[in-house]
A and B are shown apart, each in its own frame.
Chain A
Amino acid sequence: MIPASFDYARPDSVETALAALAAGGEDAKVLAGGQSLVPLLRLRLAYPSVLVDLGGVSELRGVRDDGDALVIGAMTTHYEVMTNALVREHAGLLAEATGTVADPAVRHRGTFGGSLAHGDPAGDLPAVALAYGAQMVIAGSGGRRTVEAADFFVDYLQTAVGPDEVLVEVRVPKLGAGWGHHYEKFHRTAQAWALVGVAALVRRSNGSIAEARVGLTNMGTTPLRASAAEAALAGVDASAAAVASAADHAADGTSPSSDLHAQSDYREHLARVLTRRAVASAAGL
């Protein structure tokens, strides 16, 4: 299939992008890397009146060090994120998970902000942002506001970004020393979406697990934290048995969907197995 016709705007600043969105009305869509939107257009599952392409907004690209956090521009590509020295040093989980997104072609086009703003719970990066407790900076006609990751993902393909707003940057807190990480992605082919993914950040202290943060990919209509497992992990011995026991709670409170490749009970099972593996790896076990 080929897309229906649409108007195209290519602003060169956030300000002009917001103006273009406002002018386009409710059927205007933001085009970031296009890796999710363009297939929808080709299948005629979306009929935007105007595409506002952020590709020319250079202020939205790049990673900077802001003291206690990294600030990642929304239009920074996956490839730029995963190879960025600051990200690799201070946000290893993000670098690791980004390296598992789709394939090299997608990683060179797709953007960090685009992936988050699309709000697909099967995407790898929303769960990572959630595990980090990242902050999303959203620009609108009234200025900029900051939304916690926990409040950002509203529902399936729905985020806190309004139709006339643009996600401009993401603040990823530096966790400091003592944290280990691992992203455990389970998918059928190298390029496929995760059936389930588990993003684990673990701080070890004196032979026990001081704190664990576990983000779940594709276990509901939004990315989720495995809160029950996190609670069960806090303070336990850094042992395989203790991790396994805590990981049994990884699917508690989730309601994953069923589809061709995984029924919900299988997803719940995978969440438990993969959480065990991700946490054990992040804890250096």
Chain B
Amino acid sequence: MTETLESSKLVGQPLKRKEDARLVTGETNWTDNIQLPGMLYMAILRSPMAHAKIDRIDTSRAAQMPGVVAVYTGADLAGLGIPCVWPVTDDMVGPTFPVLAADEVRFAGDAVAAVVADSRYRASDALEGIEVDYSPLPAVIDMTAALADGADLVHSDKGTNKCYYWEFTGGDYAAAKAKAEAEGGRVFHRQYIQQRLIPNAMEPRAVVCAPMAATGEITLWSSTQIPHVVRVLLALVTGIPEQKIRVIAPDVGGGFGSKLDLYREEVIAAVVAGKLGRPVKWTESRSEGYQATIHGRDQIQDIEVACTADGTLLGLKVDLVANMGAYLQIITPGIPLLGAFMYNSIYKFEALHFGCTGVFTTTTPTDAYRGAGRPEATYAIERLMDDLAAELGVDPLELRAKNWIKHEEFPFTTIAGLEYDSGNYEAATAKATELLDYSGLRAEQARRRESGDPVQLGIGVSTFTEMCGLAPSRILSALKYVAGGWESSTVRVLPTGKVEVVTGTSPHGQGHVTAWSQIAADALGVPFEDIEVIYGDTKMSPHGMDTYGSRSLVVGGIAVLHAAERVVEKARRIAAHQLECDPADLDFEGGVFKVRGTPGAEKAIQAVAFEAFTAHDLPEGVEPTLTADSTLDPNQFSYPHGTHLCAVEVDTETGAVVIRKYVAVDDIGNVVNPMIVEGQVHGGIAQGIAQALYEEAVYDADGNLVTGTMVDYLVPSAADLPHFTTDRTVTPATTNELGVKGVGEAGTIASTPAVVNAVVDALRHLGVHDMRMPCSPQTVWRTIQTAAGASSNSNGAQS
């Protein structure tokens, strides 16, 4: 049997994930599963108040309770804090963020004391033995009020609740606006609210730290997305020498950005384990995590476009107020900035003005949540495009097509200064409209409106793009981000021909083991099964920038490819030496080097690996072992795009929204594993729908988290979600060899505006122009009532 090289390629095949047999049969190693001899358990006392002065802490009773080994307060751990690594402006206000609050608590759930005991139960019991006297201070919850003169302050020593103002411009917005006004065009303004969300990774956070007194080493297991970054930061924060710190991210059950951080509990566990000379474990409960793990979104978005009378876009102005929460986690201030370049999305503008004000409130800190800045941007521009189309009386798809970058115009430098390498918005949109039966549903919508059906139909459009592949280090530098955006890989062919791929990415559900195996198998010509992927342990995989921002494939996967190609080149030199030919005379097919024109003169890469191991007969200047490294700093971002269309039925009597049909056509370039992509798209859409219809973290005026458990914070399950019709167009990226773009966040970015646009579209004829998220039944019903009241009042005035 002869197979062509093409048909034997594994990249592009829907191979079953190598990870799953182990995961679904429970052979897993979650951090909380780790049991070590002599291990102690930590529990954290959390503030019941949003803002208060700590007058007194008495831990003496708790210290006497059964099984308690130690109790620590802020005074005991003074000087230890969480650093912010993204000071977005030179004058940014960056308050000290102590690992345990010493004098003042600043959000409900703020850490006040740590108990270490011989069981988790006894540690929890002892929390109730700690006495704290608080003097309440005013809660600061409303962002607008927080920015007003004379506002109560979160950090009184800072004199302001403003964290920063960051501005970015392209072109001259004032000129674009003047042009629109002069030509009889429009200046169209909307305000949208990005409600606060709670990330809800399936696995809560957990950390185990084991010290080794004799050497001063610590091993820290953490349910984190970023073991490499945690290691560096732990070294900087604790003073433990970096070479003595080993950080391991074992099986990690999701993160969605919430585990892209250095957390207080990691620092406390590391320090306390060292002090006590025993391993210490801390595991978050779900309700504890709702207060102690970062939240996402929470922005007020003012967006304005200037356009000509026929709807040609000229200028875009965006003013954000972004909630930081009480303190800055590692990249809190930068999150809104990740959206700054995306508000113009797939459209051509002459001018862009973006401004963002970060504000402190007495709430849980915000930070990256799936999409991080880009879902917010996409929501605002896509909501606005639908609203503008309605205002102009044109079809929302038509308005978009008039303004988007045509496929023949790529590469295209946007008004935000990014060079989009590739895209075909026409193709994705054409496919999506066909799959939805766009015209058929529009006809049904008209019939339902005509008949006054209590159940109205709406169609929402979301054409989107995003920047993935974080990130070119030079751009991160320009944005004042403290670290780089490179990724690393080592590929080793072992003496027996089996392969180890070391990666600096840190998978937590994405399927890197499978995808990296596919890439390496193709490059090396070895069986998929022969490849082991090593990750998530700073001792085994010493270099990496970890996993977030849909970066792993576009940066880390390409690094795997480069390392594998370097292995092949080294093997080629050894094979040529042994086959007594010039390296250039060797063809490499299916893992075998063949001397061109000499049948039978060949050597498999596995055999070469053994030769490299024995080193008995290597060419001059070639070192033993068959291994190579690559550390890749990307030149450009990648730009996945797509068109998502959603049809909803809205019960105008109850306000209930049911998704009738959801079509997602994504263009993520070439695909390594379509099954993994499908999973990412499904999960992403679900998370975006969750924001549109279900989820919101709510604080009351006193700063209590009202949605403190899953009874009130509604995470939809499969039972609440429709069938998704998914498809793809393929416009390969031109900026990397695989032509890949990234898919980790696409669904989340695209789906929220598609759904809300559909809800508003269903009700526009009733006078509804906007709907605050989440579009809960009560919100939908009230919005209809308000619109009906407004229209009957105006009718009354006319009659």
Looking across the interface, which residue of chain A has its beta carbon closest to that of B653?
A273
Q: Are A190 and B719 in contact (CB under 8 A)?
A: yes
Q: How far is the CA of A261 from the CA of B698 in the complex (A)?
A: 11
Kindly state the separation between the CA atoms of A42 and B776 in the bound complex, as whole angstroms: 29
State A67–B349 Cα separation when bound (angstroms): 79
Are A2 and B694 interface neighbours, CB within 8 A?
no
Query: Quick one: CB contact mask for B117-139 with A, threshold 8 Å, 1 for yes?
Result: 00011001100100000000000
Q: Contact partner of B654 among A4, A103, A263, A270, CB < 8 A?
A: A270
Q: Complex formed: what's the CA distance from A86 to B508 in Å? A: 48
Q: Does B35 contact A (CB under 8 A)?
A: no
CB pair B125–A4 under 8 Å, yes or no, is: yes
A191 — which chain B residues lie within 8 A by C-beta?
717, 719
Task: Please choose the segment from B358-366, B387-395, B477-485, B705-713 that sits at the chain A interface, where 4 or more of its residues have CB less than 8 A away.
Answer: B705-713
Chain B residues with Cβ below 8 Å from A190 are 717, 719-720
A175 within 8 A of B: no
Comparing B90-98, B162-170, B777-785, the segment that makes contact with chain A is B777-785
Q: Are B717 and A261 in contact (CB under 8 A)?
A: no
A266 at interface, CB cutoff 8 A = yes
Q: Which residue of A lies closest to B122 (CB)?
A: A5
A188 and B777 contact, Cβ closer than 8 Å, known pairs A1-B287, A2-B120, A2-B121: yes
- Kindly state whether residue A8 has any CB partner on chain B within 8 Å: no
With an 8 Å Cβ cutoff, the count of chain B residues facing the other chain is: 29
Q: Give Cα A190 to B718, complex, Å.
A: 9
B8 touches A (CB below 8 Å): no
**What is the distance, in angstroms, from B36's C-beta to the closest C-beta of chain A?**
20
- What separation, in Å, do the CA atoms of A190 and B288 have in the docked complex? 24
Does A269 lie within 8 Å of B709, measured CB to CB? no
Cβ–Cβ < 8 Å partners of A1 in chain B:
124, 285, 287-288
The residues in B between 289 and 348 inclusive whose CB is less than 8 angstroms from any CB of A are: none
Is B717 touching A2 in the complex (CB atoms < 8 A)?
no
Q: Give the 5 A-B residue pairs with the shortest CB-CB distance, closest first.
A: A190-B719, A266-B778, A273-B653, A189-B720, A189-B714
Q: A157 at the A/B interface (Cβ < 8 Å)? A: no
* Residues in B neighbouring A44, C-beta threshold 8 A: 124
Whether B776 pairs with A188 at a CB distance below 8 angstroms is yes
A177 in the interface (beta carbon within 8 A): no
Q: Is A192 in contact with chain B by the CB < 8 A criterion?
A: yes
Q: B656 contacts the other chain (Cβ, under 8 Å)?
A: yes
Of all chain B residues, the one with the shortest Cβ separation from A196 is B654
In the bound complex, what is the Cα–Cα distance between A190 and B716 (angstroms)? 8
Q: Which residues of B contact A195 (CB under 8 A)?
A: 777
**Partner among B656, B712, B781, B782 whose Cβ is within 8 Å of the Cβ of A260:** B712
Q: Which residue of chain A is the closest to B288 with respect to CB atoms?
A: A1
Q: CA–CA, A188 to B288, complex, Å?
A: 24
B108 vs chain A, min Cβ distance (A): 15
B710's nearest neighbour on chain A, judged by CB, is A191
Do A193 and B711 form a contact, CB below 8 Å, given A186-B656, A260-B698?
Answer: yes
Question: CB < 8 Å: which of B120, B124, B778 contacts A261?
Answer: B778
Q: Fill in one digit per residue for A187-221: 1 if any B CB lies within 8 Å of its CB, else 0.
A: 01111110100000000000000000000000000
**Taking A43-B287, A190-B720 as contacts, is the C-beta distance between A269 and B781 under 8 angstroms?**
yes
Nearest-Cβ distance from residue B748 to partner chain A, whole angstroms: 18
Q: Is A241 in the interface zone, CB < 8 Å from B?
A: no
Residue interface bits A178-191, CB-to-B below 8 A is 1, else 0: 00000000101111
11 pairs across A/B with beta carbons < 8 Å?
A5-B121, A43-B709, A103-B719, A186-B656, A189-B715, A189-B717, A190-B717, A191-B717, A195-B777, A266-B781, A270-B654
Contact A188 B782 (CB under 8 A): no
Neighbouring B residues of A273 by C-beta, 8 Å: 653-654
A197 to chain B, nearest CB (A): 13
User: In whole Å, how far is A219's beta carbon from the nearest beta carbon of chain B?
Assistant: 15
B649 to chain A, nearest CB (A): 15
Docked pose: A266 CA to B288 CA in angstroms: 31
- Which chain B residues lie closer than 8 Å to A269 at the CB level? 781
Are B124 and A2 in touch, CB under 8 angstroms? yes
Distance in angstroms from A281 CB to nearest chain B CB is 15
Measured CB to CB, the closest approach of chain B to A218, in angstroms, equals 13
B79–chain A nearest beta-carbon distance, Å: 30
Chain A residues lying within 8 Å of B124, measured Cβ to Cβ, are: 1-2, 4, 44
CB distance from B527 to the nearest CB of A (A): 40
Closest beta carbon of chain B to A46's beta carbon, Å:
14
Cβ–Cβ contact B714 & A192, under 8 A: yes
A231 at the binding interface (Cβ < 8 Å): no
What 0/1 pattern do residues 14 to 43 of A give for CB contact below 8 A with B? 000000000000000000000000000011
